[in-house]
Amino acid sequence: MSDMPLDGRLALVTGASKGIGAATAQALAKAGAHVVLTARDVRGLEQVEDAIHEAGGQSTIAPVDLAESDGIARLASAVAGRWDKLDALVVSAAYLPTLTPVTQIDGKQFSQAITVNVLATQALLANFDPLLKRADAGRVFGLTSSVGETPRAYWSAYGSTKAAFDNLLECYAAEVEKVSKVRVALIDPGATRTAMRAKAYPGEDPQTVKPPETVGSRIVELLVNDFEGFHRERVEE
């Protein structure tokens, strides 16, 4: 396999300033893709971009708050103004509300989770669908969680948004499969060394779980080797 199997391809990664998003962006760039990095944290994006450029890769930062009503539309317009297609969309950004019983969910945090995890996902699909369909084989990767598929006590606020997230992506996959070459993969990263994981499990030794680079590498592998139809998997060690 070529050292640059994704040369000439364009990928956009949300939540690219840290964690799995950053690791995936760097892995995509290492494989030759030009990566559009988006997140709210400008400094974090700049650090990821510096790392990509130092390694000889190509990237462009596009700071966006996915919770802003017109942020995604502006992002899509900017990308379409420079490129005529999008080969890969990686939806990694997510918001984790405080873990709490259903009866004690904080309404403001729940609303933020719904906005970032669900509404923004729909907006990303709607706004980038034309660019994905112009690619030879547009691919969408959604980073999900097992709590969306299997409810767990105290995880209801996050888990319910991930269940909706999964449903949106699976429906989109079914809708585009017969009318385009766009395909969708839902990736459950499992236990991974991220800031979100540390927030959920504050007493856990981070060295006991896999690094985000493992997930990023798997996404690149899927993009390079490709997959047919809707794909779902959990990334293990």
Place of tokens 């802003």: 68
* CA gap 159, 236 in Å, rounded: 20
Residues 6+ apart with CB under 8 A from 112: 67, 95, 97
- Number of other residues whose CB lies within 10 A of the CB of residue 175: 14
> Would you call 95 a catalytic residue per the annotation?
no
Task: Please pick, among 95, 158, 172, 201, the residue that the annotation labels catalytic.
Answer: 158
Known catalytic residues are 158
